[in-house]
Chains A and B, each alone.
Chain A
Amino acid sequence: MSAILRTENLTKKFGGLIAVDNFTLSLESGRLHAIIGPNGAGKTTFFNLVSGILPLTSGKVFFGGREITGLKPHEISRLGIKRTLQIKSVFPQMTVAENLWVTRQASQGFLHPFRAATRDTQTRERVDQTLEQIGMTALADRTAGTLSYGDVALLEIGMALISEPKLLLLDEPTCGMSPAETERAVAKIKELARSIDIIIIEHDMEVVFGIASDIIVMTQGAILARGTPQEISNDERVREAYLGRPEDEDYVEEAAHA
């Protein structure tokens, strides 16, 4: 299986703080990868380096065999890596359909300065298709700024999808969603993973263990462990560093001190 994303000694320093420390990683195509770890472990920084938002301190990034180190965010986006942001971000004063529309047209390279945007029937079809795919057809004409948080998150996923990405980076997609919205989003992500490579950062363990086939555990900018959900849940180091010790052990300890 070929690697869709590969990093070599990827390092990011913020002054004295090492956010991502000598990260060498190869993510194969065809599996849903999840990155977990406590707050401040460097997960989002890793995404920011891959998508070009932050310049890296040293190291290399390869996307499907092609080196993308140092490329600009829009260049990386056009190569087919799309991402969502931890703090949901869309174009608030545009409608849902316009958000998708501009996203689709942005990936086409040439932006016609004089022809009406709505005359592009190919884009119109694609927008309708995507609206259906994310289940937001009824909300097409709503201003994005007035949507519920869960719907904004779904719209963001729709925007990532509409330009047929090769790799999707999802940064805490279910954060702030209601249980029903989470269920909907998880089903969507599972469905997408069949055709697109996805890397997901997620705090909700139920979600991670439900959808990922490969889990990478990060602490302090480095990889602590990697494996299948089963391997990770049985890993003692991960339990201690991240999942915490089982409550009954605390209880026993407390009882012993009493």
Chain B
Amino acid sequence: MIRTFVERFLLVAFAAFLVSVPWVVPVIANKFWVSVIAEILIWSIFAASVNLLFGYVGLLSFGQALFFGFGMYGVGIGIDQLHLSFWSAFAFGVSAAMAMALITGIFAVRLTWHYFAIITIVFSLIFYFLAVRLKPLTGGDDGINFSLPPVFSFGATRYSLTDQTFQYFFILAIFAICFYLMYLVTRSPLGRAFLAIRENDLRASLIGLNVYVLRLIAFVMAGFLAGVSGALFAFFGRYASATYMFYHVSGDGVVWAIVGGAGTLFGPVVGTTLFIFIRELVSTHWEHHSLIVGVMAILVVMLAPKGLVGLWREGLSRIGEQKTSSELNAKARLRSQP
């Protein structure tokens, strides 16, 4: 009760803040932080992709960067070489990521735990090296730079991501859609079936769930989220590069999701925000900022296995319990008075 109330309030406050960012942030900080927040939104979708697999289905993927990279290259190659429009390139990138997730998923979801983690790493490495080698297509390590086609054009008026404020709201809208979809899925019969598989896959198959197909569906859905974030990041940076397919990017996503709280809707947002802020604040003063990330990740995994969101919820329910027990005591005292 107290938890739903406080969390609803926070959610509304958070949404209000996100909407006001382009006007408020330049005043209280500077314009640079608007694009940092846009970047956080993009990477949160990526962390959500790890979270969908690990937090809801129980599959720890260290290869989500592969689908991020496909989303990114889909947009880059789509615009630069196929001369697609904005939306076609977006759709091309996301479909490429989902198709890749389907193909690799057919092999990967036969396995679980460390075997699954290893095969996802292997797949992402294979395609990383392929992307580095296929220079004419991918630009290798240098990547592809491209200029942005307009998002909408009504006659003479054109909306393009080159407008900072428009770009921010575009990213925010996609972020909101992705998390709303994720919210719907997690409370649907399909989401419950995912949880059942995470909890006990043998029992799940005995109640009639096709564990293999459901894991594959989850894997393709996670490919969708990673693909969307990769495509957005390509639009945001106006380039695509093989470096974003490296497994170190996948590892970042895993750390963000787990530290924030795997198995919770907004855990990945919390984790991503925290680590990108640390990176932006510290990296200008100290080049070894990833040490802080490492220490924090270890601390959270040891002290709060359900992540920061889990820690917060535990705290809230403790407050709730104290409150109800003190209320009960007060009532008891009232009753005992003559």
Mark A residues whose CB is within 8 Å of B: 51, 53, 72-74, 77-78, 82-83, 85, 89-94, 98, 101-103, 105-108, 111-118, 120, 159, 163
Contact = CB atoms under 8 A, between A and B. Distances in A.
A105 B206 contact: no
A117 B189 contact: yes
B189 A89 contact: no
Query: Top 10 closest A-B pairs, CB basis?
Result: A91-B199, A77-B208, A73-B205, A111-B190, A113-B190, A114-B184, A111-B189, A103-B207, A105-B189, A106-B207
A104 B200 CA distance: 16
B203 A83 contact: no
B57 interface: no
Contact of A73 (B196, B206, B214): B206
Main secondary structure of the interface of A (DSSP, over half): loop
Contacts of B192: 98, 101-102, 105, 117
A98 B195 CA distance: 10
Given A77-B205, A89-B203, A107-B207, A114 B196 contact: no
Interface string B199-222: 110111111111100100000000
A126 to B, nearest CB: 14
A114 B181 CA distance: 8
Contacts of A51: 206
B278 interface: no
Contacts of A113: 184-185, 188, 190-191
A114 B205 contact: no
B105 to A, nearest CB: 17
Nearest to A159: B207
A110 to B, nearest CB: 8
Contact of A106 (B187, B188, B209): B209
Given A94-B199, A105-B193, A78 B187 contact: no
A93 B188 CA distance: 17
Interface residues of B, number: 25
A73 B202 CA distance: 9
B261 to A, nearest CB: 14
Contacts of A78: 208
Contacts of B206: 51, 53, 73-74, 77, 82-83, 85
Nearest to B221: A113
Contact of B207 (A72, A94, A102, A120): A102
Contacts of A108: 189
Given A112-B189, A112-B190, A106 B199 contact: no
A85 B210 CA distance: 19
B187 A116 contact: yes
A77 B208 CA distance: 5
Contacts of A91: 195-196, 199-200, 203-204
B205 A74 contact: yes
A111 B190 CA distance: 5
Given A77-B206, A111-B214, A115-B189, 16 more contacts: A74-B209, A77-B207, A77-B208, A91-B196, A91-B203, A94-B199, A102-B207, A107-B207, A111-B188, A113-B185, A114-B188, A115-B184, A116-B188, A117-B189, A117-B192, A159-B207
Contacts of B191: 113, 117
Nearest to B187: A116
Contacts of A120: 189
Contacts of B204: 91, 106
B318 to A, nearest CB: 17
Contacts of A114: 181, 184-185, 188
Nearest to A98: B192
B177 to A, nearest CB: 13
A257 B63 CA distance: 73
Given A92-B199, A106-B196, A115 B188 contact: yes
Contact of A102 (B184, B185, B195, B210): B195
Nearest to B181: A114
A118 B184 CA distance: 12
20 contacts: A51-B206, A73-B205, A77-B206, A77-B208, A85-B202, A91-B196, A92-B199, A94-B196, A102-B189, A103-B207, A106-B193, A106-B196, A111-B189, A113-B191, A114-B181, A114-B185, A114-B188, A115-B188, A116-B184, A163-B207
